[in-house]
Structure 1
Amino acid sequence: MGIELRPAQALRLLHQTALLQARDDEHDLTVRQTAILLTIYLEAPPHTVRGLAARLNVTKPVITRALDTMGGLELLERRRDPADKRNVLVRRTVKGSLHVSRMADRLVEQAGALQP
């Protein structure tokens, strides 16, 4: 069972949460970076550069650039797969978990404030 939103409400929710994120002292993430981050935090691991590229239908260099940025922000980390040194595993971090949790809190708060 999902929540029902009219298109205008859905856009308002997106707008309000984007405004909150833009006003926050933390770095802004692009939509693509946000999609990658949420894929890592909401879908079961393991996550690899190759797998993320396939999941988002983009090239591996696109994923690598996004991971470079988010790794610099300590939202995730990359490690070589000990079982297959060709693969790079992308893993969650505490800071990343807190960031995703704050994103969820903002969404819930803004969804509760929507006009019926």
Structure 2
Amino acid sequence: MPIALRPSQSLRLLQQFSLSEVRDDAPDLTLRQMAILLTIYLDPPPHTVRGLAARLGVSKPVITRALDTMGALKLVSRHRDESDKRNVLIRRTVEGALYVERLGDAIIAKAMELPI
């Protein structure tokens, strides 16, 4: 069932979620990094640097820098495409899947706290 939120409620939800993430010990991702991570985990693979850049409307170096950070956090991994060495495939990791699942749970928890 869809949840109907007023704009002020949706912004409050975003604020409360953001505050909980800032206070948590979990990795502190930028909005761009979060968009890339969610695209990798919510859209079907395969994912490439080129494909992510096109999907998000940013340059390949922007994607590469974000993947550097997320790779260091073990949220994603990169591998050369054996069938086309020009492509770098982005893969999900167990750590990344757990992180994304925790994000979903945190958003639900904050939504439940919203006044009706």
1:30 aligns to what? 30
The equivalences for 1:1-116 within 5 A come to 2-116=2-116
CA apart distance, 1:106: 0.5
* 4+ residue segments displaced more than 3 Å: none
Counterpart CA distance in 2 for 1:86 and 1:75 is 23
TM-score by length of 1: 0.98
> Aligned partners of 2:27 and 2:102: how far apart in 1?
13
Query: Can you give the 5+ residue segments of structure 1 that lack an aligned partner in the other structure?
Result: none
* Overall identity of the aligned pairs, in %: 65
* Alignment RMSD (CA, Å): 0.7
Q: Distance in 2 between matches of 1:54 and 1:80?
A: 19
Partner SS, residue 29 of structure 1: coil
Spell out, residue by residue over 1:18-70, the C-alpha distance to the aligned partner (whole angstroms, 9 max, x if none): 01110111220000000000000000000000000000000000000000000
Give the aligned residue type for 2:22.
A
TM-score scaled to structure 2, two decimals? 0.98
Letter in 2 for 1:31: L
SS of the counterpart of 2:5? coil
Q: Matches of 1:111 and 1:24 in 2, distance apart?
A: 18
Question: How far is 1:3 from its partner?
Answer: 1.6
